């Protein structure tokens, strides 16, 4: 039984409806209303399980306004479930704004975990490595996408992306060009659905596989790119390393590298590659600290 007004963040199936949890069903039965990304989609889910609830639309275009509506209802005594079309709200889907606003207002927020496309893809990929970074969707713009990929190219762990069918080929081409065609990729398509597909190949071969059969370009994708190969880093020397770290703490990367070259006389390319590695390590550690 629900003992206090609460926002429940409920994960729903990513495809196969049999993957819904017993706890999710119990929460959906008991709440006073359900906040849904697409009310028509959620109506189908509820009908499948013989449920009927008041639905409130919460999508990317109205999330701020809807968050206020949910806040007022919960303050008045209601409990509400927040769902997205598939998977967990707030993970490359609407929901984070709602949760942030309600938590800031002192509302009780409870996660109801369930199916995850990221974890499903990783578990069946056979990829071994030192952890992974979930990137989600890359920018739609080609130039912005390539810029985002450049910041990831030296990370020493698996990279996980989501991608939509209308951008899959161009995104794969950019990923191969920026990260390097010699790295392996696992393409996971339509997870838990009728046409679920896993394909492993070199990044240099991935676009040809997709374009060979147009059916492989349909559906929702999870892309898993193996970690950057470990290279023997050209030594820049302890003094250069010390100067570079000091400069990076105060200046943008390019400016820090330029000054480090002038101060130490080390090669610009070596300093630049080391600076990128240091920046990416700091960024990753910051993300992990937030998660902890």
Could you report the per-residue pLDDT of 162-177, keeping only the tens digit for each? 999 999 999 999 999 9
In a domain, 24, yes or no: yes
Q: What is the mean pLDDT of the chain?
A: 90
pLDDT for position 31:
97
For the chain, the C-alpha Rg in angstroms (whole number) is 23
Q: How confident is the model at residue 238 (pLDDT cuts 50, 70, 90)?
A: confident
Residue ending a domain, among 225, 246, 272, is 225
- Phi then psi for 186, rounded to 5 degrees? -110, 120
Same domain, 218 and 127: yes
Q: Report the percent of the chain where pLDDT is more than 70.
A: 93
In a domain, 242, yes or no: yes
Q: 265 lies in which domain range?
A: 238-291
CATH of the domain at 106: 3.40.1010.10
Query: What angle do helix axes 168-179 and 203-212 make, rounded to 10 degrees?
Result: 160
Same domain, 173 and 139: yes
pTM given for the model: 0.78
- Neighbouring C-beta atoms of residue 171, cutoff 10 Å: 23
Residue ending a domain, among 62, 87, 115, is 115
The answer to whether 127 and 224 are in contact (CB under 8 A) is: yes
Cα separations in angstroms, 138 against 162, 163, 230, 266, 292: 8, 7, 24, 35, 25
The answer, yes or no, to whether residue 11 has pLDDT greater than 90, is yes
Alpha-carbon gap, residue 74 to 107, rounded angstroms = 8
pLDDT for position 99:
97
In a domain, 232, yes or no: no
CATH of the domain at 204: 3.30.950.10
Q: Count the domains in the chain.
A: 3
Same domain, 56 and 26: yes
Same domain, 135 and 204: yes
In a domain, 233, yes or no: no
Same domain, 10 and 86: yes
The answer to whether 37 and 58 are in contact (CB under 8 A) is: yes
pLDDT for position 290:
40
pLDDT digits (tens, 9 = 90+) for 70-116: 999 999 999 999 999 999 999 999 999 999 999 999 999 999 999 99
The answer, yes or no, to whether residue 256 has pLDDT greater than 50, is yes
- Neighbouring C-beta atoms of residue 153, cutoff 10 Å: 14
In a domain, 23, yes or no: yes
Q: Report the percent of the chain where pLDDT is more than 90.
A: 72
Alpha-carbon gap, residue 84 to 95, rounded angstroms = 8
Alpha-carbon gap, residue 196 to 215, rounded angstroms = 12
The answer, yes or no, to whether residue 154 has pLDDT greater than 90, is no
Same domain, 196 and 259: no
């Amino acid at each position: 039984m629900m003992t206090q007004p609460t926002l429940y963040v409920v994960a729903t199936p990513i495809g196969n409806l049999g993957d819904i949890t017993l706890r999710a069903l119990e929460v959906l039965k008991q709440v006073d209303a359900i906040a849904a990304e697409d009310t028509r989609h959620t109506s189908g889910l509820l009908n499948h399980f013989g449920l009927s609830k008041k639905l409130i639309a919460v999508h990317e275009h109205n999330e701020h306004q809807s968050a206020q509506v949910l806040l007022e209802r919960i303050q008045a005594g209601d409990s509400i479930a927040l769902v997205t079309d598939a998977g967990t709200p707030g993970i490359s889907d609407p929901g984070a704004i709602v949760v942030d606003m309600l938590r800031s207002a002192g509302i009780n927020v409870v996660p109801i975990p369930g199916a995850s496309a990221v974890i499903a893809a990783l578990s069946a990929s056979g990829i071994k490595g030192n952890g992974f970074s979930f990137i989600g969707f890359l920018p739609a713009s080609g130039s912005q996408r390539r810029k985002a990929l450049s910041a990831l190219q030296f990370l020493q762990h698996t990279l996980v992306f989501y991608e939509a069918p209308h951008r899959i080929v161009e995104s794969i081409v950019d990923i191969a060009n920026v990260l390097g065609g010699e790295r392996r990729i696992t393409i996971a398509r339509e997870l838990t659905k009728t046409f679920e597909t896993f394909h492993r190949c070199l990044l240099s071969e991935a676009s040809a596989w997709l374009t060979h059969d147009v059916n492989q370009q349909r559906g929702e994708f999870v892309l898993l790119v193996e970690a950057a190969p470990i290279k023997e880093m050209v030594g820049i020397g302890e003094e250069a390393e010390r100067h570079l770290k000091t400069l990076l703490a105060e200046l943008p990367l390019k400016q820090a590298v330029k000054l480090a070259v002038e101060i130490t006389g080390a090669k610009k390319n070596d300093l630049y590659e080391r600076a990128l590695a240091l920046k990416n390590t700091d960024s990753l550690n910051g993300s992990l600290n937030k998660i902890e």
